[in-house]
Structure 1
């Protein structure tokens, strides 16, 4: 453990010695037990941020360093080194986008792994970022010890939309449906005057009945200052595999994998995943009855999620 801390402390020096000029690192210490390291790496003109907290085995969370560093519990940061990294669609002033594929986003993860001096990582992907985490694990199994997919987007298309409609009609109570109707009316007006980089955050806020077990959950603190590059986000959405391709891809996974879904997730119906993983012995599946799209964040379910994750990590080694 001492050696690990020493290597972390030497990382900025090593970057200078080996010309890692595209990485910047800063360290802040709130107290003797909680050290946070922040920095950025430049990839294809994108300044991608990272935040490192805690110590222990590294758990790398792909997506937005800003958002996910607020979304996971302090408990996990006491047990592991939590590393939150940006994907390029979370850069406001992004360069002109090319034809990005999932491989593009996976290579960004690989550059973070290399430049942060990590060997093997446990990799966490939530929502659409589960697709990036899965793709990376398939491409680089030698660098992944465990894969955790939380409320992942399985695929897009008519089949998924049908399942969403069925779940909403059968599972959403009157309060949830009423709030969704009111929120949608407000959002249509607010978005007209919202800058494009903030559209995702504003839409997420007003779609709270889809994403949270408590339909009135206020995600404003999580979404504060969160901005996206709409063009790059569109490239990621367009790169998602179809239903059969996703089923085939899941069969390619060679590392222990945990899939966590919420019974009350109206954005990603659990049935969509259950159809894909039937017979796949590599994937361990947990359906949380009281959870929605953010079981790791919502106060009523976060502690249960943490326990599931920590128990699984021990048992799957």
Structure 2
């Protein structure tokens, strides 16, 4: 999915995409204690359980997410950690092809948790960050106190559903085809996708600050791996309090995707934001902060 600014899940739109191979059953190995820690920033006062926010992409750094105004209010009550995924922003580059996989992203997130010296984290994933968050929760459930998925990509990315052509057929018709590997994986920046990502186009002006950087190479390599992933079987046995949030008019992530995730994770709560597209935290920030804060203040299953 090509995008001009880093607000979104990146998954192939092309109808000609080859069918992916079977889902990988490989689990990531424990992080190497000598491994480099991804670059991260913290806002708010440290507490027992920090909220780690995982931005979308893949290939974007954390800038777009940390610059959204809603976090300033929320950080008055909790510590929030943002980080650059490997190969993006100020984080180290990939050391091997295995780093540019969903498992590699999970290993880096676990290494970050260990560096923070906390036993558990609250985990919030936006867009493709939701896929990383689900994969981490499935691999390390005892280290996740709460799981929040915001406009998350499908737990099986090869089956992800978009609504671009349904809601914006006139705009989609203007996008030229791209048969390159990056184009096939949706890793090409095109202004049109930013225009299709809001419930109200006037809300584009609410985005502020540095939009950050984008690595086409990271995007392409990680997406090639993600197309082989199926997290649904693992999610069906997950015992973590989970909140699933989706914009009712999210063209990037069809509401059907959020519904299936919420129906798969036992006890998950689903909230649709009726005046939002792909970023409810931008278009309905007050409701977003209220829903997330109430959820995080709730009980934790053990």
TM over 0.5: yes
Shift of the 221–268 alpha-carbon distance from structure 1 to 2, 3 Å rule, reads closer
Shift of the 262–219 alpha-carbon distance from structure 1 to 2, 3 Å rule, reads same
The residue number in structure 2 matching 1:148 is 148
Query: Which stretches in structure 2 are left out of the alignment for 5+ residues?
Result: 1-32, 56-60, 177-185
The residue number in structure 1 matching 2:248 is 263
Distance 1:234 1:136 in 2: 21
The residue number in structure 2 matching 1:287 is 272
RMSD: 3.3
2:290 is equivalent to residue 307 of structure 1: yes
The residue number in structure 2 matching 1:42 is 36
Deviation of the 1:220 alpha carbon = 9.4
2:53 is equivalent to residue 67 of structure 1: no
Distance 1:216 1:208 in 2: 12
Deviation of the 1:58 alpha carbon = 0.8
Q: What count of residue pairs does the alignment treat as equivalent?
A: 250
| 3-state secondary structure, aligned to 2:243 | strand
The residue number in structure 2 matching 1:113 is 113
Shift of the 231–252 alpha-carbon distance from structure 1 to 2, 3 Å rule, reads farther
The residue number in structure 2 matching 1:235 is 221
Deviation of the 1:102 alpha carbon = 1.7
| Contact 2:242–2:265 (Cα < 8 Å) also in 1 | no
Point out the more displaced range, 271-280 or 97-106.
Answer: 271-280
Distance 2:215 2:206 in 1: 19
Distance 2:208 2:192 in 1: 13
The residue number in structure 2 matching 1:218 is 204
Deviations 1:262-300 (A, max 9, x none): 1010010011232344364331111111111101123xx
| Contact 1:250–1:277 (Cα < 8 Å) also in 2 | no
Shift of the 254–151 alpha-carbon distance from structure 1 to 2, 3 Å rule, reads same
Shift >4 Å, 4+ stretches:
199-202, 219-223
The residue number in structure 2 matching 1:274 is 259
Shift of the 275–138 alpha-carbon distance from structure 1 to 2, 3 Å rule, reads closer
TM-score, normalised relative to structure 1: 0.68
The residue number in structure 1 matching 2:102 is 102
Query: Which stretches in structure 1 are left out of the alignment for 5+ residues?
Result: 1-20, 23-40, 189-198
Structure number with the higher strand fraction is: 1
Distance 2:188 2:77 in 1: 30
Structure number with the higher helix fraction is: 1
| Contact 1:124–1:133 (Cα < 8 Å) also in 2 | yes
| 3-state secondary structure, aligned to 2:123 | strand
Shift of the 177–279 alpha-carbon distance from structure 1 to 2, 3 Å rule, reads closer
Higher relative contact order (CA closer than 8 Å, sequence separation 6+): 2
Deviation of the 1:254 alpha carbon = 2.0
Shift of the 240–217 alpha-carbon distance from structure 1 to 2, 3 Å rule, reads same
The residue number in structure 1 matching 2:28 is none
